Structure 1
Amino acid sequence: MRKFILTLVFAFISSNAIMAQTKTVHLRIIETSDIHGSFFPYDFINRKPRKGSLARISTHVNLLRQQYGRNLILLENGDILQGQPTCYYYNYINTGTTNIAADLVNYMQYDVQTIGNHDLETGHNVYDKWISEIKCPVLGANVVDAQTGKPYLKPYIILEREGVKIAILGLLTPAIPNWLSENLWNGLKFEDMLSCARKWMSYIQENEKPDVVIGLFHSGYDGGIATNDYRENATAQIAREVPGFDVIFYGHDHIRRVETLKNIEGKEVVVIDPANNAMYVADTEITITQENNKTLTKVNAKLTNVSDLPIDEGFMQRFKHEYREVDKFVNKKIGKFQNTISTRDSYFGSSAFNDLILNLSLKITGADVAFNAPLAFDAEIKKGPVRVADMFNLYKFENQLYVMSLTGEEIRRHLEMSYDQWVNTMKSPEDHLLLLSPDTRDDQQRLGFQNYTFNFDSAAGIDYEVDVTKPDGHKVRILRMSNGQPFDEAKYYKVAINSYRGNGGGELLTKGAGIPQEELKNRIVWSSEKDQRYYLMEEIEKTKAMAPAANNNWRFIPDEWVRPAAERDREILFNKK
């Protein structure tokens, strides 16, 4: 009898010991991505208040920290160093202090930072300094030192919360050489994301044995540039083909998305993207239950709209000096426009806005022909004083200016691909002029078009027609050089072009003109030391007063079809609210 009682006691103790091994941990994970300088609730470009911003995200984070403490994990996913004059000022003007983008990451106590393609576009001097100033790890497993073959950035990090091991693996889209001049990323190479994810997942699982694995990818869901060596946007592919991830936070493509995919082992993987400009955050609750050496993970994910949250006054007080410095910088007057110009006109023909950039590019470089696309969907510079802020509407990114050697045929084929992405092949007068898509109105890079507006190149230096009744590849007819000389498809011309396009961005020179990617650098006969916006601003300062006007060197035909179609499409694009 005594033996039986002891057996029951031991069984009871053992049962309680097993029950004591059960533990549940609740994590809250917030991701920001593609902030693009939206630090303050003020638009320094258009000089007016704006929604969203890190100042509002800070309010959201502070409230969650009160609830979750250290179990709130804050992730920043790159493209933070470009987009607003705030970034430009601290990247290139006031370089003697800590970069504001590092100060912000440190102030908000981010746990992890990754690097984006637009961060690399600032150049080694800027992003290496920024990385050194950030107190949390900066991840990028596939950003590799070309000499050593080792990662240039930390591949992953292990965080521990209440005994739970959380692995976070960072990756960057490897399409950098298609967009950026090599001097900006010299000494680096960018590995394919899929193979890199497989390699590091295997290493992490074998050596770290984490309870939760998180991806933090500056790469879109899918699509984009695809070569034999890599995909630009590989998030969905990795989620499906690389087992081990519980959730992948991503960005780059500026499209809000929350989706649950199944990997090749049949397990669910959440992928989530908050899009751009600090209007939303990726907001995820992860519940980890550990029992008898087994771990059960449950993920609930949503996008949280922060666009109208209260502003964190403590945040604004901390950065009031930086705010004032930038405000003073952007309000400097550099010239005067005698008329208002708008990118809206650029989609329907030769326009004062786009032609101003083209004409200045020709003047700066002495080239024969210039290409440019509207880099902002709906930007305007009003009649009157022109300030530094306006230059960020005139030219959005810190691209360099190139002069490239292209044949006449390559110029035409480049334009053919541009217009094929831009305009419809009209079968009747009732058709659309433009290639529109109602499904992309919330896509921050398409905004109602089927394709990216920043790839809609037109040209100066040549006179030409675009016949919208002709099939793709046969719409453009170049009539002459704008100076009256004949245009020769066999002749080489000097072409002014931005570095994004000259390096292969948009594939207009590769798929369009037919120039192999590896040959592009040999076609560059001159490149600017500073960014294109700098030279545009310099020319406006020299001229002082300008009256920008359309060149009218190209037009859509037939006119009787195009005019009413353009009016209908303008109404759809710009009076949709």
Structure 2
Amino acid sequence: MPTKQCEVVLLETSDLHGFLLPRSYSTRDEVEHGLARIASIVRKMRNIHSHIVLIDNGDCLQGTPLTYYHAKVNHEPANPVIACLNELRYDAAVLGNHEFNYGLPYLRSAMKESRFPWLSANTVDASTGQPMFGKPYIVRELENGVRIGVLGLTTAYIPNWEQPAHIAGIRFDDPVEAAQKWVRMMKDEERVDVVVVSYHGGFERDLETGVPTEPLTGENVGYLLCEQVDGIDVLLTGHQHRAIASNVNGVCVVQPANEGRFLGKVTLQLESGANGWTVANSQAELIAAADYKADEEIVRIVRDVEELTQAWLDQPIGFVEGDMLISSHADVRLREHPLIEFINRVQMDESGAHISNTALFDNAAPGFGRQITMRDIVSNYVYPNTLKVIRISGRDIRDALEKSAEYFERDEQGEIVVSEAYLSPKPQHYNYDMWEGIEYVLDISQPIGHRVVKLERQGQPLVEDDMFDVVMNNYRAGGGGNYTMFQGKQVVKDINTDMVELLADYIQKRVHIEATVNGNWRVVNGRK
């Protein structure tokens, strides 16, 4: 009897972060990524292949001024992200950590508009232990009887970042343990022939050597899933914004970067034998969005909300006296810049705290020109953070500064550069903090852990046993970025207004803001 064969193609997007149209919100220039370009690839794949399963792997609802405008300013129009996913006939979406950023009511509204299920087997009701948002998995059965199971998993590290109100009543279980339970059930009870795990998380180890590439906090456990869970044929990943198409322990793995730069594709060749359908061959690849034009229907769907967003972004709200533009992102992190001092001072003004820290989140922030618009604010402050004031010791402050100092290393010529650990596997510029309200010097010529060579407050050495109220964003206050010294500390004040709103309100009230630098910190390279 001849062997039956079947081809199945899995398509994955991940970490779209609301990037629907191929356009920069900072400059309005055309860019080579975005869901509209990805949509053209999806339509091409549907014309070529008979059996397609299309999955979004999480972090689609947040990340651009468009999504911020819809969530915070005007949510009367249909959710533009969901409308696009519906148009492309996604089979399912997985909950990412940023799905919770705008609160549970907004998330549930997005789910209600979705014509596809949302999956997360390990995001459970804290009181019942059952999946919180519906299905842990889906099963797609083809006309030839092939059964494809897709299990959704979410990074369990979310409580370390997210505002408690946004995840009230939710427990995030260990993804590996959840996978062991549900994969077994999918195989034994659902009789699936192919097991696909779509995990909003990444890899904690080098894919080839298995050597750890980050602290084993549990934020990313992709390697562990491939190593410890039997029966997985394909692992779709994300969260780290990496471009990966590989194989780990016999599991085909893919990760399509972020903001619609690639479409992840896994081609499965199945054969039917005495024990049913099995995977004979699997191949992962990444298809670049840059090679495709924007899909006209996606552009049409987004057009109205996009126009409203652009008008909102161009609203002038204030003026700068002096220079707050950024000419070198590296220099901003080596010596104090007026933008950083301004953000810290807004945090201190809003909170009443006398010490503050913040970060320059990426290397695209332009700073502020003479006139400030909402576009300028959201281009510089790209995350939907709120503020917390926590009470910490002088020792905690020193430890946090030492952690920030790890951002730097010296190259072969002895010059200060960004540490490779903060560039790979993904850039982490947001994990380098700059402080106001204390005076300090970081000397990068010194060993890690001994780089804080000056730490004072009001001209006096900071006493390590003294307690201080410090304002910072909610991500950092929860220990995000491996700032473990902040975890579990007393919360003196919780300010639930988004930082974009706080910055805009501060400027609008004053109209004119002054670009100032008090030089309370610097980074040095020994005697050089």
TM-score range, shorter chain: over 0.9
CA distance in 1, matches of 2:77, 2:300: 18
2:77 touches 2:305 (CA, 8 Å); kept in 1? Answer: no
Task: Determine if contact 2:193/2:276 at 8 Å carries over to the other structure.
Answer: no
Q: Which amino acid aligns with 1:385?
A: Q
Indicate the residue corresponding to 1:93 in structure 2. Answer: 73
Q: Which residue of the partner structure matches residue 141 of structure 1?
A: 121
Partner residue, 1:251? 238
Offset from partner CA, 1:164-201 (integer Å, 9 cap, x none):
10000000000011111211101000000111110111
Instruction: For residue 314 of structure 1, report the CA deviation from its aligned partner.
Output: 2.2
Distance 1:134 1:224, change over 3 A: farther
Residue 475 (structure 2) aligns with: 500
Q: Is the 8 A contact 2:97 2:158 kept in 1?
A: yes
**What is the aligned partner in structure 2 of residue 46 from structure 1?**
27
Deviation at 1:535, TM superposition (A): 0.4
C-alpha distance in structure 1 between counterparts of 2:153 and 2:314, whole Å: 38
Alignment match, 1:457? 433
Corresponding position: 1:468 with 2:444: yes
Specify whether residues 295 and 161 from structure 1 end up closer, same or farther in structure 2 by C-alpha distance, changes over 3 A only: same
Which residue number corresponds to residue 567 of structure 1? none
Q: Distance in 2 between matches of 1:435 and 1:340?
A: 23
Structure number with higher helix proportion: 1
Q: What is the number of residues matched between the two proteins? A: 514
Q: Look up the match of 1:316.
A: 299
Unaligned runs of 5+ in 2: 205-212
Structural mapping, 1:365-384, within 5 Å: 365-384=351-370
Shift in Å, 1:560: 4.8
Alignment of 1:455-534 (within 5 A): 455-482=431-458, 484=459, 487-508=462-483, 510=484, 513=485, 517=487, 519-520=488-489, 523-534=490-501
Task: Give the greater-gyration-radius structure (CA).
Answer: 1
Q: What is the alpha-carbon root mean square deviation over aligned residues? A: 2.0
Q: 2:284 aligns to what?
A: 301
The 1:495/1:424 distance shift into structure 2, 3 A limit, reads same
Structural mapping, 1:397-412, within 5 Å: 397-412=383-398
Q: Distance in 1 between matches of 2:178 and 2:370?
A: 53
Would you say the 8 A contact 2:146–2:277 is kept in 1?
Answer: no
Report the alpha carbon displacement of residue 143 of structure 1 after superposing the two structures with TM. Answer: 0.2
Summarize deviations over 1:132-160 as a string: whole Å, max 9, x none: 21111100000000011111131100011
The one of 386, 396, 400 equivalent to 2:372 is 386
Superposition deviation, residue 25 in structure 1: 1.8
CA distance in 2, matches of 1:200, 1:418: 40
1:334 deviates by: 1.4
Instruction: Determine helix, strand or coil for the equivalent of 1:204.
Output: helix
Give the direction of change, closer, same or farther, for the CA distance of 1:535–1:444 in structure 2 (3 Å limit).
Answer: farther
Residue identity matched to 1:345: D
In structure 1, the partner of 2:222 is: 235
Task: Describe the shift of the 1:270–1:207 C-alpha distance in structure 2 as closer, same or farther (beyond 3 A).
Answer: same
Could you report, residue by residue, the CA deviation over 1:227-264 in whole angstroms, capped at 9, with x for unpaired residues? 4xxx11111111122111111111001111111122xx
The 10-residue stretch of structure 1 (193-202 or 527-536) with the greater mean CA deviation from structure 2:
527-536
Compute the displacement of 1:291 (Å).
Answer: 3.4
Alpha-carbon separation, structure 1, partners of 2:455 and 2:235 = 51
Give 3-state SS (helix, strand or coil) of 2:391's partner.
strand
SS in 2 for 1:43: coil
| Letter of the structure 2 residue corresponding to residue 399 of structure 1 | N
Give the drift of 1:84. 0.5
Structure 1 window deviating more from structure 2 (204-213 vs 41-50): it is: 41-50
Q: 1:382, CA displacement in angstroms?
A: 4.7
The corresponding residue for 1:574 is: none
Q: Hey, what does 2:408 align to over in structure 1?
A: 423
Q: Distance in 2 between matches of 1:479 and 1:68?
A: 63
Q: 1:359 to 1:294 in 2, by over 3 A?
A: same
* Mapped partners of 1:220, 1:374: distance in 2: 24
Q: Cα offset for 1:323? A: 1.7
Q: Which residue of 1 aligns with 2:216?
A: 226
Query: Aligned in 2, Cα 1:435/1:315: closer, same or farther, shift over 3 Å?
Result: closer
Q: What residue number does 2:45 align with?
A: 64
- TM score, norm. by length of structure 1: 0.85
CA distance in 1, matches of 2:104, 2:275: 46
Name the SS for the 2:45 alignment partner: helix
Out of 112, 115, 137, the position equivalent to 1:132 is: 112
- Quick check: 2:25–2:379 contact (8 Å CA) kept in 1? no
Q: Give, as a single letter, the amino acid of the residue that structure 2 aligns with 1:505.
A: G
Distance in structure 2 (CA, Å) of the matches to 1:291 and 1:190: 39
1:14 corresponds in structure 2 to none
Report the Cα distance in structure 2 between the residues aligned to 1:544 and 1:498, rounded to whole angstroms: 24
Q: Equivalent residue for 1:545?
A: 512
Alpha-carbon distance in 1 for matches of 2:297, 2:224: 41
2:253 corresponds to 1:271: yes
CA 1:316/1:259 → structure 2, altered by over 3 Å: closer, same or farther? same
The equivalent residue for 1:119 is 99
Question: Which residue, 64, 76, 89 being the options, matches 1:109?
Answer: 89
Provide the C-alpha distance between the structure 2 equivalents of 1:334 and 1:124, rounded to a whole number of angstroms: 30
Q: Per the alignment, in what secondary structure is the counterpart of residue 36 of structure 1?
A: coil
CA separation in 1, counterparts of 2:517 and 2:364?
17
Aligned match for 2:314, one of 331, 334, 358: 331
Q: Percent identity?
A: 29
> Structure 2 length as normaliser, TM-score?
0.92
Letter of the structure 2 residue corresponding to residue 95 of structure 1:
H
- In 1, the alpha carbon distance for the partners of 2:455 and 2:156 equals 40
- Residue of structure 2 equivalent to 1:207: 189
- The offset of 1:472, in angstroms, is 2.1
> 1:445–1:453: 8 Å Cα contact kept in structure 2?
no
Moved more, 372-381 or 110-119: 372-381
Q: Flag structure 1 segments of 5+ consecutive residues without an equivalent.
A: 1-17, 263-267, 447-451, 562-577
